[in-house]
Structure formats: structure tokens, C-alpha cells
Amino acid sequence: MGTATAIHQIVPAKAGRKEWIGLAVLALPTLLVAMDATVTYLALPALSATMKPSSAQLLWITDVFTFLEGGLLITMGTLGDRIGRRRLLLTGAVAFAIASAFAAFSSTPGMLIAARALLGVAGATLLPSTLSIIRNMFHDAAQRTFAIGIWTTCFAAGTMLGPLLGGILLDHFWWGSVFLIGAPVMLLFIILGPLLLPEFKDPGASRMDLFSALLSLLAILSIIYGVKHIAENARLEMVSIIAIIVGLVLAGVFIRRQQSLADPLIDLRLFKITAFRSTLVALLVSLFCWSGLYLFIAQYLQLVLDMDPLRAGLWTIPAAAVSMVGCMLAPATVRKIRRGYMMAIGMTMMSVGLFMLSQIQITLGLSYLVSASIILSFGCGITVTLGVDMVVATAPPERAGAAAGLYETSTTLGTALGVAILGSIGTAVYRGKMGVVISNLSEDVTRAAKGTLGGALAVAKQVTGSSGTMLLSTAREAFVQSMRFSAMVAAVLLIATAVVTAVLLGRAGVSKG
């Protein structure tokens, strides 16, 4: 009897109907944060015509959300462990609703920048909290993996729905409507959350070290700023180098401080767990490759195949939909295959899609591009779902919020680095291939044509006859070659990471679902 009782005690309790309904409630903030990351770009032309912001203000409108959300993810994840994950989540939801209304009815660029900043702060509280609460609600490994599959599916759905819903709203209402949708959805969440979501906090945690939080914020902001500056200017400038170096120095100071604190902001012992450390790296590399190549795919659709933004957006739906399928199928795969090996398979699928993109030609066109992006996105859906599950499962329950914050930060940095580094590699190849000399045009115009494909298309409209046609053909071919080279770099990097991940996670002995 005693043995039976002991066995019964170590079997995790399975979630019931309340937990699954609670998961549906957690989908609301997950969808909104994902949508908010993409919907703003659609509203830029309309709000620019109304507010007439300067170029610097326009950059802040788009970037301040990403900066503050990325910079505060670690701090907010740890804060949830200390004050209560549900409490922080509901507080963030209230702030997100207020900021959404504030953004929708902003009358000046300064007001909109402030609203977007508050949205970034609120967004940083939401994603780590939703993920760590899932860890508390679903103790059974198979149920938890399935729940995280639904969570990643909701995030993918939000990314896909953002441009579509935003386009519909902008066709019928003013630009602020794309922000206003956050208010009623969050209001519903604020009502349902306390009824269906459990509260959890680390009972042994002490007061949070605010100086560590500041160091973390400044380090991540500096690195993200430097990386985004490289991506936006397509070249390495001194300000980018200084920002990244400052960020790395502050990160070093932050790590040394964590080692000296009795109750640090981040428990560095998490990185001694092989599965945790290896999974974070695998996720960073996967998002690095995925985001970097989707930058090229978007340009290929619009600038090579000459599609308008709406039609180009519609042709990205198949890949996004298949990504959601990958997220939902991932939990079923680990019944037969270890999570680490399945992640490696997902990354291998991604590398196949990338290799296909490395062979793309102008003549291959739309169907080939969509096929490659579908394979890439399907593999990414599997990899991210199982990677998130691995991060949450390997961290101690009382540190789930901090682990979720680290996951979100690694994917944010991976995305920013992918756009900056692969984008810069592509730009360098493009410029190297553009040996066109355009007569009777100013040096600035010629430089624009040799700088980017968009610049070349603008110049081609000014050039009549065969010169314009030749310029257009040469620029598109140079862009395709830059895309092919960047895709090959990403494919090689990803397949190498897949091999290392399979070896390391296999050694860590991560069990099946």
C-alpha cells in the first residue's frame, strides 16, 4: 500500500476543464501582442499623412514598442515570480488596454510615441506571464506540451491576422482603429482572468534588485538598438558598434552582479542545465534564420514579382497557416520521438526550405517561393513549440517566469539579429553584383540604384528606353543572387545547429512526452 501511495504521489495531476478554458483565456493577450507587432506598419502611411511626424519620430513610433518590450522581458518574467504571475498579467492587461486607447486617439507624434512605449512595457508583462502560468496549470508532460502547442499557434495566428485585420480596419476606419481593438479584448480578459487562472509566486523570493533590472534593460536596449541600426542602414556604422559594445559590457556587469547576489534577478544556475542552455541557443538560431529570410521573401514578392502589399501579404498566408499546423502537430510527434531529436528534425526541415530558397531564380517565381516558405515555416512551428516546452519544463517551477522571460528575450534578439546580419550580407552581395553605370544621372541617384533593389526600381522609372529595362533586370537579378547567398548561409548554420542540438539534448536525457 505504501509503495502504491508513493507512486500515486509522484504522478502529476492532469488538468481539467477549468484549466483548458483558462488556456483559451490566455490566448487573448497572446494574440494581441503578436498582432500589435505587425499591425503598426500598415497604419504608418495613414498616420503619417495625418500627424506628419518627422523621420526620427516615425522611427520611434515603430521601434519603441520593440525596444521596451525586448528590454523588459527578463525583468518582468522575474517580477512575476516574486509578486504573482496572475497579478502581473492582469496589471499588464489593464496597462495594455489603456495604452491601446491612448494610441488610438493620439493627436500628436509625441503622444503616440508615449502610448507605444507604454504598450511595450505592458507587452513585456504579458508573454512571460502567460507562459509561466501555463507551466502552473499543466503539470502532466503530454498535456503541457499540447497546451504550449496551442499557445504558439495563437502567437502564429496573431502574426498572420495582424496585417489582414489591420487592412480591413484601415479600409473602413481611421488609422487609430488598429490600436483600439486591444481595449475591448483586454477588458474581456480582465473580467475572465481572475475567475479561471491560478495565482503563483515564489514564496522564498526576496525583494527584487532594481539595479540589476536597470542593468538588464540598458544592456538589452543597447544591443537591440545597435542591431536594428545596422539593419536599417544596411551597413556597419560607428554608432552601431558603440551601442553593441556598451550593451555587451553592461551585460557582463549584470552577470557579475548576479553571481554576487543571494537572490539574483536571474538564477544563472539555469544555464548549467544542458537542455535549457542548448534549447535557448537553438531557438535563437532558428528565429535568426527564419526572420532574416522572411525579409527577403517579402521583398521578392513585391519588388521582383511586382505585387502590391496586400497581394504579397495574402501569399504569405499559406506559410503562416502551415506554421500553425506545425505548432499543433508537434505535441503528437514527441509520443514516439524525443523532444530534442524532434527539434533537430524541425530545424532540418527549415534548412531544406532555406536550401530551396538558395536555388531560387526569377523564372521559378511564385509557386517555388511559396513551397519553400511552407517547408521553412512548418519546421519552424515544430521547433519553436517543442523548444518553448523544453525551456519551461527544464526550469524549476518557481523560476518559470524568469525562464519564460529568457526565452522571449532570446527569440527577440534572434529575430533582430537575423534581419540585421542576413540583411546586411544580402545587401553586400547585391551591391557587389550591381556593376551598372547609369549615365546622365546624378551621383546620388546612381548610388540609390546600387544601394537597394527598391532604390533601383525608383531610378528605373526615371530612365527611358533600354537603359531602364537593363537596370531593372540587372537589379532584380542582383537581388535574387543576394537572397540565394543569404539563404545558403542560413541553411548551413541551421543544419549545423540541428546536429549539435540533437547531440546535446540527447545527452541531457530529455524524456518523451
pLDDT band for position 494 (cuts 50, 70, 90): very high
- Residue given cell 487573448 in the structure block: 28
Q: Which amino acid is at 127?
A: L
| pLDDT at residue 398 tops 80 | no
Beta strands in 301-409 (DSSP E): none
Q: Which residue has the higher pLDDT, 68 or 397?
A: 68
C-alpha cell at 395: 526550469
Of 9-18, 225-234, 382-391, 402-411, least confident by mean pLDDT is: 9-18
Q: What does the pLDDT average to over 278-307? A: 84
pLDDT band for position 374 (cuts 50, 70, 90): very high
| pLDDT at residue 2 tops 60 | no
Which of the 8 DSSP states describes residue 202? -
- Closest of 380, 331, 388, 343 to residue 134, by C-alpha: 388
Q: What does the pLDDT average to over 371-381? A: 91
Q: What does the pLDDT average to over 287-309? A: 80
Whether 420 and 224 have beta carbons less than 8 Å apart is answered as: no
| pLDDT at residue 3 tops 50 | no
Positive or negative CA dihedral for 347, 353, 356, 360?
Answer: negative
Q: Which amino acid is at 154?
A: C
Please report the pLDDT score of residue 131 as a whole number. 80
Q: What does the pLDDT average to over 78-90? A: 83
Q: What does the pLDDT average to over 372-385? A: 91
CA distance 149 to 513: 13
| pLDDT at residue 496 tops 90 | yes
**Per-residue exposure over 371-399, b if at least 16 CB sit within 10 Å of its own CB, e if not:** ebbbbbbbbbbbbbbbbbbbbbbbbeebb
Q: Which residue has the higher pLDDT, 444 or 278?
A: 278
Of 19-28, 277-286, 311-320, 383-392, least confident by mean pLDDT is: 311-320
Say which residues have a Cβ less than 8 Å from residue 510's Cβ, sequence separation at least 6: 275, 338, 339, 340, 390, 394
Average pLDDT taken over every residue of the chain: 80
Encode pLDDT of 246-259 as tens digits. 989 998 898 888 88
Please report the pLDDT score of residue 472 as a whole number. 74
Encode pLDDT of 97-115 as tens digits. 999 888 888 888 888 889 9
Please report the pLDDT score of residue 352 as a whole number. 95
Alpha-helical runs (H) found in 173-237: 177-180, 182-196, 210-233
Whether 151 and 26 have beta carbons less than 8 Å apart is answered as: yes
Q: Which amino acid is at 109?
A: P
Of 344-348, 359-363, 442-446, least confident by mean pLDDT is: 442-446
Q: What does the pLDDT average to over 384-407? A: 81
Please report the pLDDT score of residue 22 as a whole number. 86
CA distance 499 to 486: 20
CA distance 432 to 116: 38
Share of the chain above pLDDT 90, in %: 10
Please report the pLDDT score of residue 379 as a whole number. 93
Q: Which residue has the higher pLDDT, 208 or 216?
A: 216
Of 252-261, 265-274, 342-351, 494-503, least confident by mean pLDDT is: 265-274
Encode pLDDT of 128-149 as tens digits. 888 888 877 887 777 888 888 8
Whether 89 and 133 have beta carbons less than 8 Å apart is answered as: yes
CA distance 381 to 452: 31
